[in-house]
Amino acid sequence: MTEIRNQPLPRARQERLVVRELSGELLVYDLDRNKAHCLNQTAALVWKRCDGQTSIAEMCRVLEQATGAPVEEQVIWFALDQFTRDHLLEKRVNRPADVHRLSRRALIQRVGLAVSIPLVVSVVAPTVFASASCTQLCPGGLGQCAVPGCQGSCSGIPLTCGP
């Protein structure tokens, strides 16, 4: 396995994240980007080892112990690429020149399904203001709607704000 020399090891971001374990998965909510990331069990195992102390080879051994199957370094790099894309690492970790980036499909073809491919599913969570509905009762009666964020007028029975 290729080791990175003279480069910091992966370190998971800790600040402005809310992290919760949910039945074998890890939910990471990024307060800065209003994004929720659901890490499957494999991705969660890798992310938890991104402590700035654990090497890629050590992460492979941890995954091998957890799954009971051999794990290629490409599996770890696939997870790190996702974490980088989703801003879940403090700093980008550059892969060595001899370790090529693989797509999910290519990774599955290469390593098979012996070990679960690390998967991070992300969704944007609307802010409270953005998720407010304009179909609320009008606080001011007829005329322009006084509900913050609504640009419509009050109409209908009962009087509701709407576009």
- Residue 152 CB contacts under 8 Å (≥ 6 apart), including other chains: 134, 145, 161, 162, 163
pLDDT at residue 113 in the model: 59
Residue 128 has pLDDT above 60, yes or no: no
Q: 2 pLDDT band (50/70/90 cuts)? A: very low
Predicted confidence band of residue 143 (pLDDT cuts 50, 70, 90): low
List, for residues 42-61, the tens digit of each pLDDT value: 999 999 999 999 999 999 99
Q: Which two tokens stand for residue 148?
A: 């913050």
Closest C-alpha among 20, 47, 16 to residue 32? 16
Confidence of residue 6 (pLDDT cuts 50, 70, 90): low
Tokens of 115: 């070990």
